[in-house]
Structure 1
Amino acid sequence: MSEDFMIDTDDLERRMQGAMGALKTEFASLRTGRASSSMLEPVMVEAYGQRTPINQVGTINVPEPRMVTINVWDKSMVGAVEKAIRNSGLGINPQLNGTIIMLPIPELNEERRRDLTRVAAQYAESARVAIRNVRRDGMDQVKKAKADGMSEDDQKFWETEVQDLTNKYISNVDQALEGKQAEIMQV
């Protein structure tokens, strides 16, 4: 293998790790029956003409195991925050108390657990797509290097390297999904 043509597998791996990190963040937002401030991380509020993370419009607290509260800083934003929570698909019904929004976390029933496992599967599929997009970029780099004079043996080597990296991360996504689904279905 000549050193003239090197594919940046470190960059590809860094980007695949980014997809895994995003997946772990999304999984953290799926509730499993206990209150957690991280479950609100993906919720975006329409604030001041743009979509803003919910933690930038109020303080999120977990005063007890089955309750999350959001102390909204701007009174005019309370309705927008409530609407964002209702539309988030978390299955939580917000209760207003002035500028404080209380989110009682109901016990998960069997149907809701199944719904959450489907949501987890969608998050995992998005991560797989992101990883495959990184693979495509790596394969494009190999094709470009082939057009620039890379030998066929080197091309096969780099294609195998990129595919092995992809397989490793797809397997990590599958394992993370299995673990999260088992956690959700646990009563």
Structure 2
Amino acid sequence: MPRRTIRIEPLLPAGTAAAAALRRERGLRRTRAIPATLSATRKPPGSPYNRGFAIDGTSTMLNEIKKDAQARMTKSIEALRHDLTKLRTGRASSALVDHLKVNYYGSDMPLTQVASVVVSDARSLTITPWEKQMVSAVEKAILASDLGLTPNTAGTTIRINIPALTEERRKELAKHVHGEGENAKIAIRNIRRDANQQVKDLLKEKQITEDEERRTEEEIQKLTDKSIKEVDEVIKGKEQELMAV
């Protein structure tokens, strides 16, 4: 039997005078009973696609599962990129200090909201607080960080020199980068597992066929492979940056 889009009026019980009046007002015909395969009460717990009043069939359900998985995988990759920008690689980058918090009149504020950060050259940053009285607060934030850098201040200008990395330190950081990449891959595979489980739940509830299950899991695997490849590219780029003299 072909599936049909069915509008549900959740606030008005079927068969009441109010429901009938609303149908007449909107020019709606009396709806047929919802097939068991599309019943909103038969969806697996936590399904991301049971959010509206209209049910568009199994294709919408499966597409929502894939879209949700893809969005979560993308967030995992972006989180990896963000974390790797904090690593000191021997080359100056404003991203190196973006995560620092500065005490601004009793509140912790991002450094970039109280000062300008400029890459002076390949090995130095220049930080200029917007307010003169914030100079000491910025210095304290730099010294208290895990960057291992010492600020040099002249008036309201703070200069940070980025020392070259030793060979041993480069190898340590490369190992750390590789570990972060593996963690990102684990997160992506866990997302694949969750998505596949949602598909299996639909099959168990007889809301999809075995062919639909197989096809959807293959598409989820393609999303996973693509995301893993992106992680490898991010890690490779960071390792090359670390090993560059």
Counterpart of 2:230, as a letter, is N
- Of 27-36 and 162-171, more deviation after overlay is shown by 27-36
Change (3 A) 1:138 1:182: same
- 1:157 corresponds in structure 2 to 215
Change (3 A) 1:133 1:83: farther
Counterpart of 2:127, as a letter, is I
CA drift of 1:181 comes to 1.0
* Greater RCO, 1 or 2 (C-alpha within 8 Å, sep 6+): 1
Q: 1:132 aligns with which of 183, 189, 193?
A: 189
Contact 1:7 1:141 survives alignment (8 Å): no
Gaps of 5+ in 1: none
- 1:112 corresponds in structure 2 to 169
Greater per-residue helix proportion? 1
User: Match of 1:6, SS?
Assistant: helix
* 1:54 counterpart = 2:111: yes
Distance 1:127 1:70 in 2: 32
* 1:181 counterpart = 2:239: yes
- Of 40-49 and 112-121, more deviation after overlay is shown by 40-49
* 1:22 counterpart = 2:22: no
Counterpart of 1:70, as a letter, is I
Contact 1:120 1:180 survives alignment (8 Å): yes
- 1:166 corresponds in structure 2 to 224
Which structure would you say has the larger Rg? 2
CA drift of 1:26 comes to 3.4
Gaps of 5+ in 2: 4-56
Distance 1:147 1:84 in 2: 55
- Of 132-141 and 108-117, more deviation after overlay is shown by 132-141
Identity over aligned residues, as a percent? 41
CA RMSD of aligned residues (A): 2.9
TM-score of the two chains, using structure 1 as the length reference: 0.77
- 2:62 corresponds in structure 1 to 6
CA drift of 1:49 comes to 5.5
Contact 1:35 1:65 survives alignment (8 Å): yes
- 1:103 corresponds in structure 2 to 160
Poorly superposed stretches of 4+, deviation over 6 Å: none
Aligned residues: 186
